[in-house]
Every structure is written in structure tokens, then in C-alpha cells.
Amino acid sequence: MTFPVDNPEASDAASDQIVRALAGASSLTVLTGAGVSAASGVPTFRGEEGLWRSHRPERLATPEAFSENPRLVWEWYQWRKERIAACKPNRAHEVIAEWSHRYPAFTLITQNVDGLHERAGTRNVVRFHGSIWEVSCWNGCRSSPARWPDHTVTYAELPPKCPHCGGLVRPGVVWFGEGIASETLELAARALANDVFLTIGTSSVVYPAASLSSAAKARGAFTGEINLEATPVSAQLDASVHGAAEVVLDELSSRCDDSGR
Ligand code: APR
């Protein structure tokens, strides 16, 4: 059952459904997008703040853009790393982290590369689009691992070089036009069999992440959405709450505590 946007009573009814589903569940999967980190100050991709020097992410987050102008792409990522380094997890991250320890079976599938879920202490995180705090060798040189941690915020030189071969390193994130690693897809697929699947703070327009909620529904999961606005998947889900994740999740958490979940 889903409800029209901006209808408070309807959103309350949808919240009731989610609380009931969570109370009866022994396994939970959560899918998150940039909306969960918005309250921490991390810009989302498709909101008005999603622009960087008038570039859209779709134009910069591609192998073609990197090969054409690695310095420009690294300037964008360095700007994002500097912004994210100043951010802290917000109440939405905290509630999801609490739930990750409360349910015997829990998986977080996040499209976010900012690392805020891990900093909030979330268990079993599947980084569907990689991490801005990892890099890999652009040449894929034999002496370098597939990817490795790099917590540098501001680089001494851009673009940074691979310590193993002297070539370029690239951000450890999945770009448009690149596939999701098979082991990541496998981890996500296994999580679709959980009792409840919540999609939170994502516009649900980028695939294959956007297909996960309907795949979970097809596997019999109760599917809920928490997002500021309606998305293309809202109508297919069992309950859709329109509101800020950091507010709605805080309320759901208190109601779940009251229900003894
Ligand atoms: N609470 C809940 N939802 C919010 C909040 C908030 N505080 N703030 C914004 N939103 C919603 C917006 O309404 C929007 O629907 O979060 C969604 C963010 O959508 P996008 O900016 O498209 O981000 P996301 O869905 O994560 O993008 C998916 O696209 O650019 C690629 O790889 C990138 O992982 C990213 C993917």
C-alpha cells in the first residue's frame, strides 16, 4: 500500500506498516543513497547542490572523463573528500547502525562512498559503488592489489601516482558505464531474501541498485521506502514514507523500542 506525497496521515499509516514489519522481522536489509548523508552535509547528486563547478556527476564519474582529464576528475574527488572529512554521521546513520546489531541477519547495501555508515559502527556493509577512501591503479599493474585504502584528504600532487608502477591511481568507486563487481552483486542478492527491505534516501534512478527493492519484493520481503520525495519505485513498494531520513528513522527507532523490538 503506498500513499500520495505530502499527505501526513498517509505517511503515518505507512510508518505504522514499517514499524509492524520491523517488529515481526528477524532479518533486515537496508539500501541507502545520498539522502541519508545529506543531513551530515554531504551533497546529494541530483539535488540543486549536486553541481560542482557546473559539472554534473554523470559527466565526471566516468572512465572516459578520467582518461581525458584525470586532473579535473581528481579535483572533484579531492573536493568531495575535503567536504566528507568535515562531516559526521547523522541520526539516520546511527539508527541504521543500531538496527545492524539488533537483527540476527542484517545487510546494509549502500550506494554512498563516503564511509559514514562504517564510522557510525554499522555491521555488514556492502559498498555497492565502492569507497572514496580507497584507490586502485589505473593501469591495473600486477604489483598493486585490486584496491587499497587511501585516507588522504588533500593530495600533494594531482592526479596522485600509483606507488607500485608510477602510473595514475583512480578513486576506488564504481563509475557510470562500469559494472558492479560480481562478489558485490552476490552479497546484495543474498540479502534480498531477508524479511524486510528498506530503501532510504535514494532517487532510485541508477541501476542495478534501483532494481533491488522490486527484486526483494518478488522474493517475498516487506518493502518500505523513506525518502524526501516520491521515486520511480514508490508505487511498487508496500509502504512509502516521505520525509527526512534523519527524522523519520529517529521516530521509527523510538516506536520500535516502544514495541519491544
Ligand atoms: N532524507 C531522505 N531523503 C533525502 C534527504 C533526506 N534528508 N535529502 C535528500 N533526499 C533524497 C532526495 O529527494 C533524492 O531522492 O535523496 C535522494 C538522493 O538522490 P540522488 O542525489 O540521486 O542520490 P542517489 O540516489 O544516492 O544516487 C545514486 O547515482 O550519481 C550516482 O553513484 C552515484 O551512488 C550514486 C547514485
- Condensed to tens digits (0 to 9), the pLDDT of residues 15-62 reads 999 999 999 999 999 999 999 999 999 988 887 777 667 778 888 999
Task: Specify the pLDDT at position 51.
Answer: 65
55 is known as an active-site residue: no
Residue type, 129: H
In the predicted structure, residue 258 carries a pLDDT above the cut 80: no
For the chain, the average pLDDT equals 93
Distance 201 CA to ligand 1 centre (A): 5
Q: What cell does 125 get? A: 556493509
Looking at residue 261, what is its pLDDT? 64
222 Cβ closer than 6 Å to some ligand 1 atom = no
Mean pLDDT value across residues 217-243:
97
Nearest atom of ligand 1 to the alpha carbon of 128: 34
Residue 86 reports pLDDT greater than 60: yes
For residue 2, which of 203, 229, 225 has the smallest C-alpha distance?
225
List strand residue ranges (DSSP E) for the chain, in order. 27-32, 105-110, 125-127, 130-137, 148-149, 169-173, 196-200, 222-227, 239-242
Q: Binning pLDDT at 50, 70 and 90, where does residue 68 land?
A: very high
2, pLDDT greater than 60: no
Segment holding 43, helix H or strand E: none
Q: Which of 86, 98, 55 is nearest to 249 (CA)?
A: 98
User: Lowest mean pLDDT: which of 44-58, 112-126, 134-148, 247-261?
Assistant: 44-58
8 A C-beta contact, residue 96 and residue 40: no
10 Å Cβ neighbour count for 73? 24
Instruction: Please work out whether the CB of residue 180 comes within 6 Å of at least one atom of ligand 1.
Output: no
**Ligand 1 geometric centre to CA of 225 (Å):** 12
Copy the grid coordinates of residue 141: 599493474
Provide the percentage of residues in the chain whose pLDDT is more than 90. 85
Which position has the higher pLDDT, 12 or 248? 248
Residue nearest (by alpha carbon) to ligand 1 atom 21? 45
Task: Give 158-183 pLDDT, tens digit per residue.
Answer: 999 999 999 999 999 999 999 999 99
What is the pLDDT confidence band of residue 6, given thresholds at 50, 70 and 90? low
List the catalytic residue out of 93, 129, 151, 164: 129
Average pLDDT over residues 186-209: 97
Q: What is the pLDDT of residue 46?
A: 81
Residue 9 clears pLDDT 80, i.e. is over it: no
Residue from 217, 219, 226, 193 nearest 19 by CA: 226
191 pLDDT above the threshold of 70: yes
